[in-house]
């Protein structure tokens, strides 16, 4: 899990001001590091490591968080590139984004020895980028610790799945290099829907759709046109769906993968209303009963989804993650309001659709990873691009 924020920094007019400005930045970063350590007093689990306990009596193991205080990671880096250079690119190469994050390529089970939380603060020529990398088996996409460093007393009822078989965690799964398909000839592009754009999409077919359902339907129909049978998936939070719901301060990873599988020709023939109704049905059926049923099935037959398992246009899969409701722009670490959001390459593969709020209230940013030819076809799709007209 990798989320990051861009900030601008004041540009000095003279050399003396530049030296003062550099001292101020160094002081702010030092303060940021110190305040993070205070925050970990409340979120001490993130300063630990994963642990495994074998139970010989029933041939199972338990995965837990070992609160051994080995610490979170804090990195101060610099890069000879500007915020403008990055944000002005229509399609940002991952080779530019990856160096802004730590723990690249680290898988969740490596939390046995790797940090569960790593923060990298990178000084750019005209700004600052703060990249947060977290172990996704421990925390959700946007846990409270990412919202601000200083927190009031907060309870952290974090739990991990507790028993899985030796066969499931066979040595080959833990010691061999993970097989993650490289994204050759793929790029990621961000499509920004303004509040007005979203409102126009929501009234199509006179359906009662959420903003996200409307936007995802529009993007995915265009991707389907540009690409036979397609799986459309939604990563949905369980926190408010349990009865009773989990505490507001809960930051563990509790999600359900909801999916729709349908023929491409049917989507293209029946259009926006058809696909959006299928997505709406998936969301509406997300309930306490269904969540607990899926957990029981998982206990009987456990599995882990690895990168590339549920995504990839080659496999005809389009999967959404994240949320436009996360308060990403509410973070102020001393450089004012963030000016942009960028996600890292963790868990990304073809077809992954990352959702985040746009910089203007009511807007939604959709980052989608697709083959270059598919994105070019989408950009030439008059019906799709028409949604961005004012």
pLDDT score recorded for residue 151: 33
d(CA 4, CA 354): 13
d(CA 37, CA 30): 11
| DSSP classification of residue 91 | B
Contact 94, 78 (CB under 8 A): no
pLDDT score recorded for residue 38: 87
Cα–Cα nearest to 350, from 326, 372, 328: 372
Pairing mode of beta strands 117-123, 164-165? unpaired
| DSSP classification of residue 10 | P
CB burial of 53-87 (b: ≥16 within 10 Å; e: otherwise) equals eeeeeeeebebebeeeeeebbbeeeeeebebeebe
Using the Cα atoms of residue 235, residue 240, residue 241 and residue 246 in order, give the sign of their dihedral: positive
pLDDT score recorded for residue 206: 67
Query: Measured between alpha carbons, how far is residue 69 from residues 46, 80, 169 in Å?
Result: 9, 34, 26
% helix / strand / coil in the chain, to the nearest 5?
Answer: 35, 25, 40
**pLDDT values of the chain reduced to their tens digit, one per residue, 390 residues:** 899 999 997 654 444 565 666 788 888 889 889 988 888 888 889 999 999 998 888 888 888 999 998 999 999 999 999 999 999 887 778 888 999 999 998 988 899 999 999 999 999 999 999 999 999 888 876 555 545 443 333 333 333 333 333 333 333 333 344 444 556 667 888 999 999 999 999 887 667 889 999 999 999 999 888 766 788 888 898 888 989 888 877 777 788 889 888 888 889 899 999 999 999 999 999 999 999 998 888 888 877 666 555 544 445 788 999 889 888 888 778 788 999 999 988 878 888 899 999 999 999 999 998 888 888 899 999 999 999 875
Pairing mode of beta strands 364-371, 352-357? antiparallel
pLDDT score recorded for residue 340: 93
Beta bridge partners of 26: none
19: exposed, middle or buried (C-beta count within 10 Å: 0-12, 13-18, 19+)? exposed
For the CA atoms of 343, 345, 349, 355, what is the dihedral angle to 10 degrees? -10
| DSSP classification of residue 247 | P
């Amino acid at each position: 899990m990798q989320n990051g924020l861009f900030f601008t920094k004041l540009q000095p007019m003279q050399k003396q001001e530049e030296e003062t400005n550099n001292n101020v930045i160094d002081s702010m970063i030092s303060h940021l590091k110190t305040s993070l350590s205070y925050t970990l007093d409340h979120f001490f689990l993130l300063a630990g490591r994963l642990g495994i306990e074998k139970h010989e009596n029933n041939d199972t193991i338990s995965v837990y968080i070992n609160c051994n205080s080995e610490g979170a990671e804090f990195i101060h880096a610099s890069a000879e590139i500007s915020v403008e250079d990055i944000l002005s690119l229509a399609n940002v190469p991952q080779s530019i984004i990856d160096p802004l994050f730590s723990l690249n390529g680290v898988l969740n089970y490596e939390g046995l020895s790797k940090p569960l939380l790593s923060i990298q603060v990178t000084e750019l020529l005209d700004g600052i980028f703060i990249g947060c990398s977290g172990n996704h088996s421990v925390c959700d996409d946007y846990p409270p610790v990412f919202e601000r460093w200083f927190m009031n007393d907060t309870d952290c009822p974090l739990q991990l799945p507790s028993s899985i078989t030796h066969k499931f965690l066979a040595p080959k799964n833990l010691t061999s290099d993970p097989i993650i398909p490289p994204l050759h000839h793929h790029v990621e592009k961000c499509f920004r829907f303004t509040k007005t754009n979203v409102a126009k999409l929501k009234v199509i077919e006179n359906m009662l759709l959420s903003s996200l359902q409307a936007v995802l339907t529009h993007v995915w129909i265009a991707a389907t046109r540009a690409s036979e049978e397609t799986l459309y998936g939604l990563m949905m939070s369980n926190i408010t769906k349990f009865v009773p719901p989990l505490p507001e301060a809960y930051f563990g990873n509790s999600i359900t993968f909801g999916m729709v599988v349908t023929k491409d020709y049917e989507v293209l023939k029946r259009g926006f209303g058809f696909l959006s109704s299928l997505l709406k049905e998936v969301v509406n059926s997300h309930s306490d009963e269904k969540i607990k049923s899926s957990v029981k099935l998982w206990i009987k037959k456990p599995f882990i989804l690895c990168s590339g398992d549920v995504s990839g246009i080659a496999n005809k899969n389009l999967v959404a993650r994240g949320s436009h409701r996360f308060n990403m722009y509410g973070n102020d670490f001393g450089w004012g309001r963030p000016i942009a959001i960028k996600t890292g390459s963790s868990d990304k593969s073809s077809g992954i659709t990352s959702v985040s709020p746009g910089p203007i209230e009511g807007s939604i940013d959709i980052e989608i990873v697709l083959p270059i030819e598919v994105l070019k076809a989408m950009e030439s799709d008059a019906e799709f691009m028409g949604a961005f007209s004012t």
